[in-house]
Structure 1
Amino acid sequence: MADKDSHVVSTGTGSSEADASPYTEGVTLARPEGWMYKGFRFPGTKGEIWYASPKAQLLMVSFVCFLCPGLYNALSGLGGGGQVDPHIQANASTATYAVFAVVGFFSGSFANKLGIKITLSLGGIGYSLYSASFLSYNHTKNEGFVTFAGAFLGISAGLLWTAQGAIMMAYPLEKSKGRYISSFWVIFNAGGVIGALIVLVQNLNNNTGTVTDGTYSAFIVLMFIGAVLALFLVNADKVIREDGSKVIIMKEPTWQSEFYGLWECIRLSPWVVLLFPMFFASNIFYTYQQNGVNGAHFNLRARSLNSLLYWLAQILGALVYGAALDFSKVRRSVRAKAALVTLFILTFVIWGGGYAFEKDQPPREVVLQPDYEQYKIDYTDRGYLGPAFLYIFYGFYDACWQTSIYWWMGALSNSGRKTANMAGFYKGIQSAGAAVFWALDGHGVSYRVLYGVTFGLCAFSILVAAPVVWLRIKDTTDLEEDLKFSDETIENVAAPGVLNEKRAALETTV
């Protein structure tokens, strides 16, 4: 392979936030021969980009997520998956997240063994089938197929999100992780924006409360394209960073080594369990926001507009938080603590505003009556603006939450293998929380109860995670600590300049 034939040392850690790093931004270092390492520059930019670079790979995985989960979010954001009866989508979502919780917990092992691109492509297939099930339901009322598609999506989503998490957390240099995470979140949520625009345009004059066949058909095709696009990625062992480094992986992974790696991740980093409550809470707010606010109190075209604004707010939240988390004039450990405190304050400000809205709304039993559709808020109504802004802030909050968690996990390790397992833990536990809350919604639990439990869990989980953020996130990640979780050696994974420094230090001591 090209990287084995290279005459230069081209491996490293991604730890170039450290002051001792010899890498200078914009300087082109020697790379292996081959088409995937041929660089080019965009007009007005300093450095080169090449096909097997973190930037190119992140861009590609962002567009896969734009087309698959991004459009799925647009569909879910309508409340009820675009159907009048929300329990159809609630049951499918319960199946999705129940399966996702199991698959996600072990999917890091699959990603490490199968490779990133196969894992990601397999993960994209279920999204297309999920949209197809709603198209089928429009004509056959076959609820069982929708539930099956939801369960199958749980398998697919577990694979896709674990592969995506490993790319986003392990590929970039330490100093760039916030920007990489926010860039991904912007492109990914643009899928929700475009999807919401499609729904809004196609349903401006639709008063039935159910999304049209054309909308579902467009989603099916676009989601399938996303699954195919994933096959054009390269696996982690081919990726070379700007400083000449490579991603730490297992060179010879086996199924036994990868499943054992799950236990090893907990054994070597037991404090990670304190992040589990935040993982659990990280998707539970979608149930209340999408079905208890948007689906319950707005008509179809207002829901479509709200969904568009919600995903736009997510883009803004990712840009703001991503830039703040990479603010180089403040030490990384201080940025981590500031992000935690800010998120805690946002929780009380935004969800406190949510209580002011929720306390005046009619109960679930009233809003789910078919004849209540005519009383739901339209975007032309005088009372639309306040609730719409609340929904926008909910979207902003979600992006801040997700960006923070990914950045904290990325700050704890630069190892591709370890971050894949942490991403698997994250998505598995996240999905368990979502499954519980979609099941509560499917069983008709009061929207007010859903609101209160969601608010309380979010605030509580931040407090539980505080010791990890305060005590474990350092200004740079120790290379030797990451190597404990791999069969790599320092000669195989250190950037050229770092290796030279270590050799010089050894010669000096001798």
Structure 2
Amino acid sequence: MGPEGKTFLNIIILGFGFMFMFTAFQTCGNIEQTVIKNFNSTEFHGSGYTSMAIIYGVFSASNLIAPSVVAVIGPQLSMFFSGLVYSGYIAMFIHPFTWTFYTASVFVGIAAAILWTAQGNLLTINSTDATIGRNSGIFWALLQFSLFFGNIYIYFAWQGHVHITDKDRQTVFISLTVISLVGSFLFFLIQRPEPEATPSEASESLPAESTESADRCVFLAEKALQLSVTKEMLLLSISIAYTGLELTFFSGVYGTCIGAMTRFGEDAKSLIGLSGIFIGIGEILGGGVFGMLNKANRLGRNPIVLLGMITHYVAFYLIFLNIASDAPIAPEEGTPGKAYLTPSIEVALLCSFLLGLGDSCFNTQLLSIVGFMFREDSAPAFAVFKFVQSITAALAFFYSNYLFLHWQLLIMVIVGFLGTLSFFVAEWMVVKSRRDTDYDSI
């Protein structure tokens, strides 16, 4: 197998590893608030929203050290050990206690920063300028199959279950733990790319004298801080922040809203799984199509991001009409209020699809542009990416405990509009830079 074939295979293995891991973790995130509401224990007082807020808050802070960890032990081992921590968090739901729940949340936050920094680094060193868009799309599509498989299981396992029993919970989370472990071990199949085919480790801008681990750690932390205040990264940060807000909404809040809608009948709980499947279909379709378009698309990334914004605006408006405003915070024993229209399962699932499709528009193009603009400093750049995304996701999970649905939708509408405009400016900077380079080479 040639160097290009080896790097392409690495991207496929990377995608499959994440697919298994996040089949478990995203399914866990989608159902945990509903599971907690149904958990009969006077000793347990946890909140799924609060757990996710802790995860993303710690995630954001840990991005300062993540590039250093990846530099010292390498992206492969970084992803493997992070995967084990994710599996531990999922296993905790087999018999949860409040202290184990929140402690595991802290550790997953640290692991997530290392995992995603390593992923961005590995994606970049296995790509060239010509293949970064294609590889980003392929990785994203494979990753999003995770929403598909896990939620099919939830749909069939919980069909007709008005209340989630201890046995239901234990069966689901034992299965998810095993699936997560399979994903972690897949990372060992990734091979080191040929130096001549892709940027060498030296392209990470490490100074020659930084041979000591401590020096490398300090250097990469400083590099991440330097990148975070560049004009390009500041512009992209608004778009990245939006992806953090809508990640919270589709991965935790929207499923909880659907499960709380008693007007959907006794299948409301299983509809959480079906909603996740439709989100996954949107993500897979978007990742595959827009990843492939990246190479042939002469109009650049802006039209795809604009499509993402329009798709999300349609979804937000329909959700506003179809779901009761207090559904995100309605207690299990309570009944959410009335929606503006008669609640429709079909409209709810259409919105799930649109949420996934719009999310893939933003994320494939952000992965592509960050990998392109910061090619020489990919690990610190992706650490900044995840820092911004995770801190806004933490904020969103925190306010999801208190804000009614219409306020959450309004926040996303405003930040999404600003993020789309800022992405346009960043993309025009890339186009201008490319034209200047082509002109200079004549």
Q: Normalising by structure 2, report the TM-score.
A: 0.84
Find the partner of 1:212 among 150, 153, 169: 169
The 8 Å contact of residues 65 and 217 in structure 2, kept in 1 or not, is answered as: no
Alignment-derived partner of residue 94 in structure 1: 53
The separation in 1 between residues aligned to 2:274 and 2:295, in whole angstroms, is: 32
The 8 Å contact of residues 75 and 81 in structure 1, kept in 2 or not, is answered as: no
- Specify whether residues 75 and 115 from structure 1 end up closer, same or farther in structure 2 by C-alpha distance, changes over 3 A only: same
The 8 Å contact of residues 311 and 355 in structure 2, kept in 1 or not, is answered as: no
Report the 3-state secondary structure (helix = DSSP H, G, I; strand = E; otherwise coil) of the residue aligned with 2:72: helix
**1:178-257 paired onto structure 2 within 5 Å:** 178-209=133-164, 211-234=168-191, 238-240=192-194, 243=197, 246=200, 248-249=203-204, 250=206, 253=211, 254-257=213-216
Report the 3-state secondary structure (helix = DSSP H, G, I; strand = E; otherwise coil) of the residue aligned with 1:68: helix
Cα deviation digits, residues 442-472 of structure 1 (max 9, x gap): 3x22121111112211211222333322113
Deviation, 1:164, is 0.5
The separation in 2 between residues aligned to 1:127 and 1:376, in whole angstroms, is: 38
Q: Which amino acid aligns with 2:419?
A: S
The separation in 2 between residues aligned to 1:289 and 1:169, in whole angstroms, is: 27
The separation in 2 between residues aligned to 1:265 and 1:220, in whole angstroms, is: 33
Cα deviation digits, residues 8-58 of structure 1 (max 9, x gap): xxxxxxxxxxxxxxxxxxxxxxxxxxxxxxx2xxxxxxx7766xx211222
Alignment-derived partner of residue 295 in structure 1: 256
Find the partner of 2:313 among 351, 371, 381: 351
Cα deviation digits, residues 359-405 of structure 1 (max 9, x gap): 4543327972434579999xxx9921112101110011111111010
Within the alignment, does 1:310 sit opposite 2:286 as a pair? no
Deviation, 1:187, is 1.5
Find the partner of 2:369 among 385, 388, 408: 408
Find the partner of 2:93 among 111, 119, 134: 134
Deviation, 1:412, is 1.1
The separation in 2 between residues aligned to 1:69 and 1:410, in whole angstroms, is: 22
Report percent identity of matched pairs: 14
What runs of 5+ residues in structure 2 fail to find an aligned partner? 40-45, 260-267, 438-442
Report the 3-state secondary structure (helix = DSSP H, G, I; strand = E; otherwise coil) of the residue aligned with 1:207: coil
Within the alignment, does 1:320 sit opposite 2:289 as a pair? yes
Within the alignment, does 1:107 sit opposite 2:66 as a pair? yes
Report the 3-state secondary structure (helix = DSSP H, G, I; strand = E; otherwise coil) of the residue aligned with 1:445: coil
Q: Normalising by structure 1, report the TM-score.
A: 0.73
Report the 3-state secondary structure (helix = DSSP H, G, I; strand = E; otherwise coil) of the residue aligned with 1:105: coil
The 8 Å contact of residues 24 and 90 in structure 2, kept in 1 or not, is answered as: no
Q: Which amino acid aligns with 1:166?
A: N
- Specify whether residues 437 and 318 from structure 1 end up closer, same or farther in structure 2 by C-alpha distance, changes over 3 A only: same
Deviation, 1:347, is 1.4
Q: Which amino acid aligns with 2:312?
A: I
Alignment-derived partner of residue 270 in structure 1: 230
Alignment-derived partner of residue 9 in structure 2: 56
Report the 3-state secondary structure (helix = DSSP H, G, I; strand = E; otherwise coil) of the residue aligned with 1:208: coil
The separation in 1 between residues aligned to 2:109 and 2:179, in whole angstroms, is: 19
> Would you tell me which structure has more helix in proportion to its own residues?
2
The 8 Å contact of residues 366 and 372 in structure 1, kept in 2 or not, is answered as: no
Within the alignment, does 1:169 sit opposite 2:124 as a pair? yes
Alignment-derived partner of residue 413 in structure 2: 455
Compute the RMSD of aligned alpha carbons: 3.1
Alignment-derived partner of residue 34 in structure 1: none
Cα deviation digits, residues 161-201 of structure 1 (max 9, x gap): 11011122332122111221111112211122111122222
The count of residues paired between Structure 1 and Structure 2 equals 412
Find the partner of 2:325 among 348, 363, 367: 363
Alignment-derived partner of residue 21 in structure 2: 68
The separation in 1 between residues aligned to 2:436 and 2:145, in whole angstroms, is: 32
The 8 Å contact of residues 72 and 192 in structure 1, kept in 2 or not, is answered as: no
